[in-house]
Structure 1
Amino acid sequence: MSLEDAFANFTRRDWERESPDGTVRLAVIGVGGFARNRALPGIADGSYCETTMLVSGSPDRARAVAESFDVSHIVDYDAFLAGDHAETYDAVYVATPNATHGRYAIAAAEHGKHVICEKPLDTSLERAREIADACTDAGVTLMTAYRLQTEPTVRRTRELVRDGVVGEVVQIHGGFSHPLLEHAGPGSWRLDPDLAGGGALVDLGVYPLNTTRFVLDCDPEGVYATTHSSGEPFDAVDEHVAFQLEFDTGATASCTASFDAHASSRLELVGTDGTISIASPFGGVVPQEMVVESGDVRMEYTGPPVDEVREEFDYFGYCVLTGTDPEPDGEDGLTDLRAIEAAYESAETNCRVALE
C-alpha cells in the first residue's frame, strides 16, 4: 500500500460489504452521561440501530431523555431482569458501572438478546468469562464496546502496519490522561474499586492497551506496571499508572494513564522504516489528524472528525443483521482483562508478569 492509497477515501467503512435491511432495536441499560450525550445521539444518527427502550434506576427522571430520542418504553432494572417488554428490543447496550455489567449482559443473553457491553466487560476475568459463556450458550452476538476499532484513523493505521509501510513496528507510545474531578465528584463510582474494578488503568489505560493490540494484530506476552495514588479521593484506586507491554514480535508498548493530569492523549508507532503518529486518539472525538513517515517520504492527513460512537453502533448493528462476528468480541474483552489483572499484579510485586 502506498501512502496515497491509504489516505484515499480515508473514512471508508472497509467492514461494510453489503447493505442489510432493517435495524437492530436496542435497549440502552444505564442512562448516565455517556449514554445521554454520546451513545443515544450516535445511535440516532446511525443506520443500523435504533433505541426502543431505556433501562434506568429512575424511570421518571429518564422520561425527558426518552422524549428527546423518541424512545417508547422505559423500565427499571428489576423489570428488565424480569423480561418486561422483551418483545420490544433485539439487543442491549450495557452502560452501567463495571461491576454490574455481568448482571445485565447475562440476563439479556438469557432473554435471547444480542449484547454490546462497555469495557471492561466486568471487574474480573472470571466474571467476564461468565458473560462470554452466557452469550455463546444462548447463540447471541457479544461485542465489547471498543469504539476506536471502528474509527477511521485507527483502522487506516492498522492497514499501514499490516502492509509494512513503516517496516517492523519496534516501539509504541500511548498515553491517556483525563482530570476526573473536573467532570465528576469525589463520590464517583469510578473511584470505588468494588464498582470500577480499578482506577486509571481500567478506565483510561484500556484505550492504549486495546488500540495497540488492534493495530499490531497481536497480543502481549508480558507486562510490567507501576501505579501511584497521592491520597483522597484516589486512595482506593490507581490515580496514575504506567505499564509496558511486551510482544513476541519484539515490539514493546509503553503506555500511561492518569485520573489527575491535564487532558491529553497520544499514540505513536515507531517502525524500522518509519513512524505513525495519531493526534488525540483517545479523547472522545478523534480529530482525524495523522502523520506518517515512510523512508524519506512524509505525509500528513487532516480530515473532518468522524463520530466513532455512531460507527461503533452501526458496526454492531451490521454484524447482528448480517450474522458477522464482530472483531471486538467477548474474547477481545477477556484478553484485555487478563492484561489488566497482570498489570495490577506487577504493580504489587514490582516484577514482570508473563501472560498466557
Structure 2
Amino acid sequence: MELDIPTRFERDWDRTVEDAPLRFAVVGLGGFARNTALPAIADSDYCETTAVVSGSPEKADRVADEFDAAYALTYDEYADGVGADAYDAVYVVTPNALHLPHVETAAELEKDVLCEKPLEATADRAERLVAVCEDAGVSLMTAYRMQTARSVRWVRRLIDDGVVGDPVQVHGEFSFRLLEQGGPDQWRIDSDLAGGGALMDIGVYPMNTARYVLDADPVAVRATSHATQPAFDGVDEHVAFQLEFPDAVTASCTASFNAASASRFAVTGTEGRIVVDSIFGVDDERRITVETDGGRTVVDAAAPNEVTEEFDYFATAVLTEMDLEPDGRHGLTDVRTAEAVYESSETGTRVEL
C-alpha cells in the first residue's frame, strides 16, 4: 500500500465556527494551567479565558491580570455562581480527587465541561461526575490531548487504513524523574488527591492512546506495580501492565516516576509496524517511523501545540454540535481500567473488565 505522507498535518475535524469565542472559566491555577493551558487558550482560534478560579485570591488576581480575564474567583465564589454570565464552559485542572465538586458546579450552572484526565481519583467518583453532566445535559470531554494531536490522529488513520495490516501488539512507555521537578510534597504522589501514582498521572497516556488508535476497549488486564523510595510510600513509583483487547490484540504499557526519560509508542501489525518516538510530552517533537514490506518511511511530524488543538476541538464540538470525543464515558473507562491495574498488581491475577 502506498503511504500518503502529508507535507503538513492539518485539522481533520475543522469546520466553520460562527459563534466563537467559547468563553472559559479555568478552575485550578497550578503549573500546568498557568504555563501550558492558559497560554494555549490565548493562542487558540475559538476560545478565550474570561474567569480564573483558585484557592488563593492573590494568585487568582495575578493570573487574571496576566491573561486578561474579567473575573478572578475563589473556589467558594465559583461554587456560588459569581460571574457565571461571563463564561460558557469550564476547564477543570485541579488535583484528580477535586474534579467532582467543580464539575458538579459547572453542571448546576449549565456550563459545558472540559475536565483533565483522569476524570477522578476513583471509578465511583468518575461515574458520579459523568452522571451529573448527563443529567444536566451539558457536554463533557476528558482532556486527552493526544486524541486531538494532528500527528497522532494521522497514526490512527494509518492503522484504520490497514497500512500495517491487522494490529497485533501495542507498546507504550512514559517515564521521568518526578522528584527533580518539585520534590516529595506534590499532589501527584498523594494517594488521597491523585488516586495513585505513576499510573494515574502518566500511565494513562499509553493506556488511552492504545485505546484510541485501536478504536477498542480492553477486556482484561495483568499488572505489577511497586515503590522503592520513601517519597512514593502508598503510591506506585513504577507500573507495568498488559491490556487484552478483542481479537487477541495486546498492549504492553509501562510508566515510572523515577526513571530516565522515555516517551515512546509502537503498533505492530501483521504487515508492518509504526513507531512514534517522543510522543507523550507536551513539547515532544514526534518522529514517526512506518515500516512495511514496501519500505521504511520516517516523518518528522511538526504540528501545532496539541493543547491549543484540544481547546479548539472542544470549542468546535460545543459550538457546532459536532460529535465530541473523548467524552465522559470514554474517560470513565480509563479510571475503571486503572482500578483493575491496581487490583491485578495487588492480587497477582488477571482481572477481567
TM range, smaller chain? over 0.9
1:161 to 159, 162, 165: 159
Partners of 1:124 and 1:197 within 8 A in 2: yes
In the TM superposition, what is the alpha-carbon distance from 1:296 to its structure 2 partner? 2.8
Taking the aligned partners of 2:110 and 2:187, their CA distance within structure 1 comes to: 30
In the TM superposition, what is the alpha-carbon distance from 1:153 to its structure 2 partner? 1.5
Q: Please show how residues 33-44 of structure 1 align to structure 2 within 5 Å.
A: 33-44=31-42
Q: Secondary structure at the match of 1:121?
A: coil
Q: Please show how residues 217-228 of structure 1 align to structure 2 within 5 Å.
A: 217-228=215-226
Length, aligned pairs only: 353
Taking the aligned partners of 1:307 and 1:158, their CA distance within structure 2 comes to: 18
Q: Please show how residues 127-206 of structure 1 align to structure 2 within 5 Å.
A: 127-206=125-204
Partners of 1:292 and 1:300 within 8 A in 2: yes
Once structures 1 and 2 are overlaid, which stretch shifts more, 297-306 or 207-216? 297-306
Amino acid at match of 1:119: K
Amino acid at match of 1:162: D
Q: Please show how residues 1-356 of structure 1 align to structure 2 within 5 Å.
A: 2-3=2-3, 5=4, 7-355=5-353
Taking the aligned partners of 1:309 and 1:186, their CA distance within structure 2 comes to: 27
Taking the aligned partners of 2:226 and 2:202, their CA distance within structure 1 comes to: 15
Amino acid at match of 1:38: T
In the TM superposition, what is the alpha-carbon distance from 1:152 to its structure 2 partner? 1.4
Q: Secondary structure at the match of 1:233?
A: helix
Partners of 1:242 and 1:257 within 8 A in 2: yes
Taking the aligned partners of 1:125 and 1:354, their CA distance within structure 2 comes to: 15
Distance 1:9 1:130, change over 3 A: farther
Q: Secondary structure at the match of 2:230?
A: coil
Once structures 1 and 2 are overlaid, which stretch shifts more, 303-312 or 122-131? 303-312
Amino acid at match of 1:14: D
Taking the aligned partners of 1:256 and 1:230, their CA distance within structure 2 comes to: 16
CA deviation profile, 1:63-103 (whole Å, cap 9, x unmatched): 22222211111010011111111111111000001000001
In the TM superposition, what is the alpha-carbon distance from 1:12 to its structure 2 partner? 1.1
Distance 1:351 1:197, change over 3 A: same
- RMSD (CA atoms): 1.2
Amino acid at match of 1:87: D
Q: Secondary structure at the match of 1:25?
A: strand
Taking the aligned partners of 2:114 and 2:320, their CA distance within structure 1 comes to: 16
Partners of 2:29 and 2:53 within 8 A in 1: yes
Partners of 1:10 and 1:152 within 8 A in 2: no
Taking the aligned partners of 2:104 and 2:247, their CA distance within structure 1 comes to: 36
Taking the aligned partners of 2:39 and 2:229, their CA distance within structure 1 comes to: 37
In the TM superposition, what is the alpha-carbon distance from 1:285 to its structure 2 partner? 1.9
Q: Secondary structure at the match of 1:313?
A: helix
Once structures 1 and 2 are overlaid, which stretch shifts more, 223-232 or 12-21? 12-21
Taking the aligned partners of 1:296 and 1:22, their CA distance within structure 2 comes to: 45
Give percent identity, aligned residues only: 54
In the TM superposition, what is the alpha-carbon distance from 1:15 to its structure 2 partner? 1.1
Taking the aligned partners of 1:241 and 1:206, their CA distance within structure 2 comes to: 11
TM-score normalized with structure 1 length: 0.97
Amino acid at match of 2:96: N
CA deviation profile, 1:179-205 (whole Å, cap 9, x unmatched): 111111211111110100000011010
Taking the aligned partners of 1:303 and 1:332, their CA distance within structure 2 comes to: 27
Taking the aligned partners of 2:69 and 2:319, their CA distance within structure 1 comes to: 21
CA deviation profile, 1:236-262 (whole Å, cap 9, x unmatched): 100000000011121111100001111
Structure 2, unpaired ranges of 5+: none
Q: Secondary structure at the match of 1:2?
A: coil
Partners of 2:151 and 2:301 within 8 A in 1: no
Partners of 2:9 and 2:303 within 8 A in 1: no
In the TM superposition, what is the alpha-carbon distance from 1:288 to its structure 2 partner? 3.2
In the TM superposition, what is the alpha-carbon distance from 1:289 to its structure 2 partner? 1.5
